[in-house]
Chain A
Amino acid sequence: MRVKLTMRNRLLYSLILLAIPALGVGQERDAKTIVRDAIDHWRGLSSYTEMTMIIHRPDWQRSMTMRAWTMGDDHSLVRVVEPRKDRGNGTLTDDKSMWSYSPKINRVIKVPSSMMGQSWMGSDFSNKDVARADEIVDEYEHRLLGAEQVDGVTVYEIEAIPDEDAAVVWGSEVLRIREDHVVLKHSFFDQDGELVKSLTTLEIAELGGRVTARRQRMSKADVADEWTEIQVNEVDYDVELKESLFTLSNLRNPRDL
Chain B
Amino acid sequence: MHLFGILLRLAWRNLWRNHRRTIIMLGAIGVGVWAMIFMTALTRGMVDQMITDSIGVLPGHVQMHHPDYRDDPSISNRVSISDAALNEKFDDADFEAWASRVRVPAVITSERESRGVTLLGVDPAAERDISFFDYDEVEGRFLESASDQGIVIGKRLAETLETEIGKRIVLMSQDPENDIADRGFRIVGLYSANTKAIEQAYAYIGKTTAQKMLRVDDATTEVVFLGEDYRNVEPVYEAVTSAVDDTVLVQRWFDIDTYLGTMLGVMDGFVLVWVVVIFLALSFGLVNTLVMAVFERVREIGLMLALGMKPASILGQILIESMFLLALGLAVGNFLAWATIVPLQDGIDISVVAEGMEMWGASSMLYPKLYASDMILASGVVLLLGFLASLSPAWRASRYEPVEAITKV
Contacts and interface: CB of A to CB of B under 8 A. Distances in A.
Contacts of A118: 114
Interface string A124-165: 000000000000000000000000000000000000001111
Contact of B172 (A97, A116, A162, A171): A116
B387 interface: no
Interface in B164-188: 167-174, 178-186
A164 B178 contact: no
Contacts of B168: 162, 164, 169, 171, 191
B110 A169 contact: yes
Interface size band for B: 20 to 34
Nearest to A192: B167
A61 B172 CA distance: 32
A112 B174 contact: yes
Contacts of B111: 169-171, 188, 190-191, 196
A169 B170 contact: yes
A165 B184 contact: yes
B56 to A, nearest CB: 26
B174 A96 contact: no
Nearest to A162: B184
A15 interface: no
Given A110-B178, A116-B172, A117-B114, A165 B109 contact: no
B107 A167 contact: no
B17 interface: no
B114 A166 contact: no
Contacts of A97: 179-180
Contacts of B118: none
A117 B181 contact: no
Contact of B170 (A110, A168, A188): A168
Contacts of B54: none
A162 B185 CA distance: 11
A163 B186 CA distance: 11
A112 B169 CA distance: 18
A113 B184 contact: no
Contact of B180 (A113, A170, A188, A196): A113
A167 B180 CA distance: 11
A117 B149 CA distance: 23
Interface in B107-126: 107, 109-112, 114, 116
A113 B112 contact: no
B74 to A, nearest CB: 11
B173 A169 contact: no
Given A114-B107, A117-B107, A191-B111, A167 B172 contact: yes
Interface string A164-183: 11111111000000000000
Contacts of A96: 179-180
Given A110-B178, A165-B149, A169-B170, A196 B184 contact: no
A165 B183 contact: yes
A190 B113 CA distance: 12
A85 B331 CA distance: 79
A203 B168 CA distance: 34
A198 B205 CA distance: 32
Contacts of B185: 165
A113 B186 contact: no
A197 to B, nearest CB: 9
Given A96-B180, A190-B112, A113 B167 contact: no
Contacts of A170: 111
A225 to B, nearest CB: 19
Nearest to B109: A117
Interface of B: 105-107, 109-112, 114, 116, 149, 163, 167-174, 178-186
- Nearest first, the 10 A-B pairs at minimum CB distance are A167-B182, A190-B111, A113-B172, A113-B180, A114-B107, A117-B114, A191-B167, A167-B170, A169-B111, A117-B109
7 contacts: A163-B184, A164-B149, A164-B168, A164-B184, A167-B170, A167-B171, A188-B111
